[in-house]
Structures are given as C-alpha cells and as structure tokens.
Copies of this chain bind each other. A is one copy, B any other.
Amino acid sequence: MLTLAYLLAITAEAMTGALAAGRRQMDLFGVSMIAFITALGGGTVRDILLGNFPVNWTKHPEYIYLTVGAGLFTLVIVRWVHKLRQWFLVLDAIGLVAFTLIGCNVGLELGYPVPVVIMAGIITGIFGGILRDLLCQRPPEVLHRELYASVSLIVALMYLQLRHWGVNQDSTLLAAFSVGLLLRMCALRWHWRLPTVQLPVTAAP
C-alpha cells in the first residue's frame, strides 16, 4: 500500500512541478527537470542528509521515466487540470503522508534518534516542493499556506507514537493516512493555517 501511495505521490508531485515550471515559461526540458526535482527532491535531500547512499532514485531509474513522463503529460492535459483540481489536491495530500512515512522508515532503519527520524519524515514530505519553488522563484509555499508541513509533522509524531505502543503496521499506516488526509483536506476546505508572523520588512537587525 505504501509503495502504491508512493507512486501516486511522485506522479502528483511531478505534475505540480510541471505546472509551476510551465507558469514560468520554461521549455520542455525545464518542465521535465522541475517535475523530476519536485517529485524526487525530498527523498534525495533526505538520503544525502542521512548519508543513505546510493540515493533512492539512482537504484530505481524507472522513477526518472515516471516523473518526467508525468511532467510532460501534464502539459497535454493542462487545460483540464483545473477541472481535476479536487483529485489533484487529494493525490498531493496522499503524497505528503506517504513521503513522510517513508522518510520516517528510512530514518528508523538507519538507527537515527527520534528527532532526526521526524526531521527525515518532514524533509521527505516538503523539500520537493521547496526546491520547486526555489527554482521557479516563488516563495516556498509549504511554509506559509494552509497547513502542509504541519500535517507532515503530526503524521510523523503519530506514526512513531503508535509504533512505540506496538500497534501493528497495518493499523498504524491506516491511522496515519486517515488523520493526515483528513487534516489536510479540512485545512484546504476551511483555510486552516498556522499563525503567520507579521514583521515589518524593515525590522532590525
């Protein structure tokens, strides 16, 4: 189930990357590259930070084809994308939860302490989007819109807690997905967000 969710997730993330790149008038190569980086960048940053070589996608070259293909396909269906918006946001939320859980698992397998495992989950969940926004020169959306990174944090905490209590893997995954998806969907529906800081741009120092 986690693998299926992962494949859905990288496809959805590649599509968000392609759309962002398209809005920046990038060429087909740029769109493919941003799709690839958005989908696989989070896991790549995690693997590098944790010293987990070889980096995941270099062992699965089919992910390169999948993400580049999804990026280019997005351009074909772009005029219908806004009609598919609801599905898209659901896929993206599934991706966020799947990325987070996979990131936590990698951290756990490598024997890192709990706070690092949580960071590994969050980084896997959000860094693809951060790299996409950096390369497309826009503010990193996951850090100031409806709850997103926070959903990743909550899913990671819940997953580790249930695992600590010895709940079996299937129930744990089910619970993490249910809570994560529900929270993200509610956040989108009612524009839940964390308090935003309002400092004047000129504030010292």
How often does this chain occur in the complex, in copies? 3
Q: Would you give the 0/1 interface string for A184-205, flagging 1 where the beta carbon is closer than 8 Å to chain B?
A: 0000000001111111110111
Whether A31 and B197, one on each chain, are in contact in the complex, defined by CB atoms closer than 8 angstroms, is yes
Whether B25 and A144, one on each chain, are in contact in the complex, defined by CB atoms closer than 8 angstroms, is yes
A164 in the interface, Cβ–Cβ < 8 Å?
no
CB proximity to B under 8 Å, residues A86-144:
88-89, 112-116, 119, 130, 134-135, 137, 139-140, 143-144
**CA–CA, A135 and B27, complex, Å:** 21
Question: Interface on chain A toward B: helix, strand, loop, or mixed SS?
Answer: helix
Minimal beta-carbon separation of A163 from chain B (angstroms) = 18
A54 in the interface, Cβ–Cβ < 8 Å?
yes
Complex interface: chain B residues within 8 A of A196 (CB): 25-27
CB proximity to B under 8 Å, residues A5-53:
16, 19, 21-31, 33-34, 44, 48-51, 53
Complex interface: chain B residues within 8 A of A135 (CB): 130, 134, 140, 143
Whether B26 and A113, one on each chain, are in contact in the complex, defined by CB atoms closer than 8 angstroms, is no
Complex interface: chain B residues within 8 A of A112 (CB): 54, 58
Contacting A116 at CB < 8 Å: which of B19, B31, B64, B113?
B64
Complex interface: chain B residues within 8 A of A21 (CB): 143, 197
CB proximity to B under 8 Å, residues A53-69:
53-55, 57-58, 61, 64-65
**CA–CA, A57 and B123, complex, Å:** 14
Interface residues of A (CB under 8 A from B): 16, 19, 21-31, 33-34, 44, 48-51, 53-55, 57-58, 61, 64-65, 75, 78, 81-82, 85, 88-89, 112-116, 119, 130, 134-135, 137, 139-140, 143-144, 149-150, 153, 193-201, 203-205
